[in-house]
Amino acid sequence: MGLTKSFMMALSSIINNKVRSLLTMLGIIIGIASVIILVSLMNGLTSEITSIFDDFGTTSLTTTITPRSTKELKPEELYDFVEQNPGLYANVSPSVSVSGEVKTPDSGDDTITSSATGVSEGYYDIKRVEMSFGRFISYADCENKSKVAVIGSYEATYFFGLSSKAVDETIRINGTPYTVIGVMEEKEDSTEGSSDDAIYIPYTTALQATGTNIISTYVVDAAADEVVDEAKEALENFLLGVIGDSDYYNVSSMKAIIDEMLEMLDTMELMLVAIAGISLLVGGIGIMNIMLVSVSERTREIGIRKSLGAKHKHIMTQFVMESGTVSCIGGVIGIVLGSSMAYVAGKLLGMEVAPSTGAIVVAFCVSVGIGIIFGFLPARKAAKLNPIDALRSD
């Protein structure tokens, strides 16, 4: 008997026992659907996190320096070092934070508490800043210690109603007036605390506002992803030579942070899939139990077939094909159900979620494999039946 005939007999048996077949498939359906949903959601979450970090620049190196009375890193020294290593570095910018109240001359007591960051013109390329209106901080602004500011869409809409109206207007940071020269493109929903809540001013102006001439934070941009590790090592060696003690500085790589986070997500995904895999194991045991019942019910049929010349392999093929078909159909239903639920869950969570082709193929292969593996024992039991004893069975 060929595989086609065995497949048709398996389908006939499934159709004739619809309820029992559906209950048999239930464990496989739940297991496959769970795996598809979890893998899809984790992939969507990974994409979201990667996208967020991409906005900060995956090649950026953040350097934090603890001020010392004897050793100090001047901006000119770091700029010269970056220029001398064009193969490792693309840009550099100081970063000086100025916290306080922000208002406009006409807003009266209506203020917001925010933080302005003093940066140089290089920050624009390092963080891939996108502008909606106006321009970003320039070299001349830093040289002249200009009282100018680039604001996010949150500040623009809060104080001026529309981002397009903010350019050339004035805001006050801790009472000091700054002319708005640009508005950044909206990235989220222009709410307080989001990435749209940001103010940038020249770093020299920020130093003046804080009453210090010491810069403790720099953002350095590596030339490419491939040289981030080498650039980090070279920068650490340079800082050791200038400062003299590694306890007084720290260089953190955005790429390393992303890699660590993705590794954690991968581990979490494996754990969740393993938990969902328990349903597949239960489903496989269910298939084996039902197939053993089926063998007991069809003992006489097996005896008749053997007496008519059916061989060991024919009986084995018939029952393995039946269990494999049950599992396969359950897997297909699970894939469709899991994909649909993953899409709905993604919409509810506000993420782009789509089952990967690889996850679907693996899920389908696993479902078929479970049917074959757990159907082997019942099939072997059926094939070993003595035809005379089988014919005597009621």
Tell me which of 89-93, 147-151, 354-358 is least confident. Answer: 354-358
> How many Å apart are CA 24 and CA 186, to the nearest integer?
52
Average pLDDT, integer, range 1-21: 68
Does the pLDDT value for residue 282 go beyond 90?
Answer: no
Q: Are 222 and 170 in contact (CB under 8 A)?
A: no
Residue 390 pLDDT > 60:
no
Cα separation of 279 and 262, whole Å? 26
Lowest-confidence pick of 119-123, 145-149, 313-317, 350-354? 313-317
Non-local (6+) Cβ contacts of 330 within 8 A are: 24, 25, 26, 27, 28, 29, 32, 283, 367
* pLDDT at 233 exceeding the cut of 70: yes
CA distance 99 to 110: 17
Report the C-alpha gap between 22 and 266 in whole angstroms. Answer: 33
pLDDT at residue 1 is higher than 80:
no
Closest CA to 73 of 213, 211, 242: 242
Q: What is the mean pLDDT of residues 272-296?
A: 77
Return phi, psi of residue 63, to 5°.
-110, 120
* Lowest pLDDT segment from 99-108, 133-142, 169-178: 99-108
- Give pLDDT, residue 181: 95
Band of pLDDT at residue 205, cut at 50, 70 and 90: very high
Q: What share of the chain is helix, strand, coil (3-state, %, to 5)?
A: 60, 15, 25
> Token pair of 17, please?
């026992």
Tokens of 324: 């494999």
> What is the structure's pLDDT at 134?
92
354 C-beta neighbours (distance < 10 Å), count: 14
pLDDT score for 30: 86
Residue 170 contacts residue 88 (beta carbons within 8 Å): no
Mean of the pLDDT values across residues 85-95? 92
Question: How much is the pLDDT for 72?
Answer: 78
Which stretch of 11-20, 96-105, 242-251 has the lowest confidence by average pLDDT? Answer: 11-20
Residue-level pLDDT at 391: 58
How large is the average pLDDT for residues 192-215? 88
pLDDT of residue 180: 94
Confidence (pLDDT) at 3: 61
Q: What confidence tier does 57 reach under pLDDT thresholds 50, 70, 90?
A: low
Q: Which amino acid is at 8?
A: M
Q: What is the mean pLDDT of the chain?
A: 82
Percent of the chain with pLDDT over 90: 22
Among 252, 172, 181, residue whose Cα is nearest residue 220: 252
Q: How many Å apart are CA 145 and CA 206, to the nearest integer? A: 9
Q: What is the pTM of this model?
A: 0.66
pLDDT confidence band for 94 (50 / 70 / 90): very high
Q: What is the CA radius of gyration of the chain?
A: 33
Question: pLDDT grade, residue 54 (50/70/90)?
Answer: low
Alpha helices in 17-107 (DSSP H): 18-56, 75-83
Per-residue pLDDT, 387: 61
pLDDT at 107: 67
What confidence score (pLDDT) does residue 235 get?
A: 92
User: Stretch 224-250: mean pLDDT, rounded?
Assistant: 89
